[in-house]
Amino acid sequence: MDDSPLQKIAISGPTLASLIQRFSTSPSSIDGLIFGHVTQLTPLNLSDDSADSPDSPILLATVTGFLSSPSSFFDSSGTVNPSSLRRLLHHHNSSLLGWFSARRKTPLRPSMREFSVTASLSSLSQFSSSIKNATKPSNFVPCVFLLFASPSVDHNTHIHTHEYRAYQFRGAGNSFEAKSIEVINIGPAFRGHYGSFSPNSMFPALDCEAGGSPMKEDEERLSRMKQVAKDKKELDDYAEGFEIGKLSKLMGSEATSYTARLEELYEKMLVKIQNLTRDVENSSVKVLELDLRNCLTLDLGIKANEGETGPELGFGEEKLKSGEGECAVGKEKDEKLECVGREASLLVDEESYNKKLKLKISRSTASE
């Protein structure tokens, strides 16, 4: 029964639409494999006379899927490579019915190479499939060929016309037999056919990365936007007075008239720098004065504590006399305790004036 004729070939609407869409979106001609199953039909006209019974069973081939192969499974002479074909069928569980070819702007008739490919494919019995509802175990070789073509002249570019035709290769006569195609469309009578449809087209591998929480992504995006706004504000503060609109006037015919305004802008910038330098100098002087005052207070306090332990010092009768850094303590006027303060000098360079500031502090203090 390997060479049994098919009564007709049926194809589901989704499969036909997907195949035509694949053909219309491809940049060139395509080819591939078709999958489905073959069912033996029960004849409607039953007769008791054995002579009226058909010699061969009635077979129906139903196409349920296709595979548009990116790499060809046959060579330039039309000979099928079994290893390449087996590699394409590795991930498909459906039975192989045959193959298809789609060409642009060519006549709707098989070419010599398509004839050779179909003959070579039908001779590979290892790819045959079993026939459903058969009275006895039988196999069906992949001998179905679907041909698609677009018309050579398209009068209306807004309407895309695609022609198709189905053939069965008969090994006995070594020829093609045209078969009618039944399209299973939407309707109550065809609901059962849609359950068997499964797309078998290979899709390219897509890189899928697990994303994080949407709320976390929004928070990170908001944080980046705030940081960008902050950086922009700082740059705007630094560039205050140096806007692009003003700097663009330095070029062209407006450069001569803009010189005076540029000099004024430069003078304002120098004034800002001078004020900033003066503030820094004043702050440095105040800090140095506080440091010297703290050091003198600590030094005099230590010396006063040492004099308190002496046997001849009486603070009830002490006299305090100030004069050029000298202190007289006690009854003896000849007894002197000379306290000399520290001398500090501060050199401040104010804008290139090379001004030298010298601070001399001499104080005499005795703690009670």
Q: Indicate the range of 16-25, 137-146, 182-191 predicted with least confidence.
A: 182-191
Domain membership flag for residue 182? yes
Is the model's pLDDT at 274 over the cut of 60? yes
Token pair listed for 277:
């330098």
Domain check: are 186 and 234 in the same one?
A: no
Q: If pLDDT is split at 50, 70 and 90, which confidence band does 137 have?
A: confident
- In a 13 Å sphere around the CA of 76, the CA atoms on its Cβ side amount to 0
Domain check: are 116 and 230 in the same one?
A: no
To which residue do tokens 């001499």 refer? 362
Residues 208-213 have a mean pLDDT of 56
Residues 207-223 have a mean pLDDT of 71
Q: Give 309: exposed, middle or buried? Use CB within 10 Å, 0-12, 13-18, 19+.
A: exposed
Domain that holds residue 227: 214-244
pLDDT, residue 50, reads 55
Domain membership flag for residue 268? no
Is the model's pLDDT at 249 over the cut of 80? no
pLDDT, residue 321, reads 41
Domain check: are 18 and 159 in the same one?
A: yes
CATH number at residue 21: 3.40.140.10
pLDDT, residue 147, reads 94
Domain membership flag for residue 200? no
Rounded CA separation 115/109 (Å): 10
Rounded CA separation 111/87 (Å): 26
Domain check: are 332 and 226 in the same one?
A: no
pLDDT, residue 335, reads 40
Q: If pLDDT is split at 50, 70 and 90, which confidence band does 348 have?
A: very low
pLDDT, residue 344, reads 38
Collapsing DSSP to helix, strand or coil, 39 comes out as strand
pLDDT, residue 184, reads 82
Rank 206-220, 246-260, 261-275 by mean pLDDT and report only the highest. Answer: 261-275
Domain check: are 230 and 158 in the same one?
A: no
Rounded CA separation 367/156 (Å): 115
Domain membership flag for residue 249? no
Domain check: are 96 and 221 in the same one?
A: no
Domain membership flag for residue 208? no
pLDDT, residue 94, reads 82
- In a 13 Å sphere around the CA of 161, the CA atoms on its Cβ side amount to 11
Is the model's pLDDT at 345 over the cut of 50? no
First to last CA, the chain: 133
pLDDT, residue 169, reads 93
Handedness of CA 100, 105, 106, 107 (dihedral sign): positive
Contacts (Cβ under 8 Å, ≥6 apart) of 63? 9, 10, 11, 12, 15, 34, 35, 36, 97, 144, 146
Domain membership flag for residue 38? yes
To which residue do tokens 């093609």 refer? 176
Residues 157-164 have a mean pLDDT of 74
pLDDT, residue 150, reads 84
Q: If pLDDT is split at 50, 70 and 90, which confidence band does 198 have?
A: low
- Report pTM: 0.49
Residues 240-245 have a mean pLDDT of 66
Q: Report the chain's mean pLDDT, rounded to a whole number.
A: 74
Tens of pLDDT, residues 66-125: 988 767 889 888 899 999 898 888 877 789 999 999 998 888 899 999 999 999 999 998
pLDDT, residue 35, reads 92
Q: What's the structural domain count of the chain?
A: 3
pLDDT, residue 113, reads 92
pLDDT, residue 316, reads 40
Domain check: are 75 and 223 in the same one?
A: no
Q: If pLDDT is split at 50, 70 and 90, which confidence band does 264 have?
A: confident
Taking alpha carbons only, the member of 75, 54, 63 closest to residue 1 is: 54
Cβ(141)–Cβ(2) under 8 Å? yes
Structure-model confidence comparison of residues 212 and 136, the more confident one: 136
Single-letter amino acid code for the residue at 342: R
Domain check: are 237 and 154 in the same one?
A: no
Tens of pLDDT, residues 292-327: 888 888 777 776 666 544 444 444 444 444 444 444
Residues 197-204 have a mean pLDDT of 53
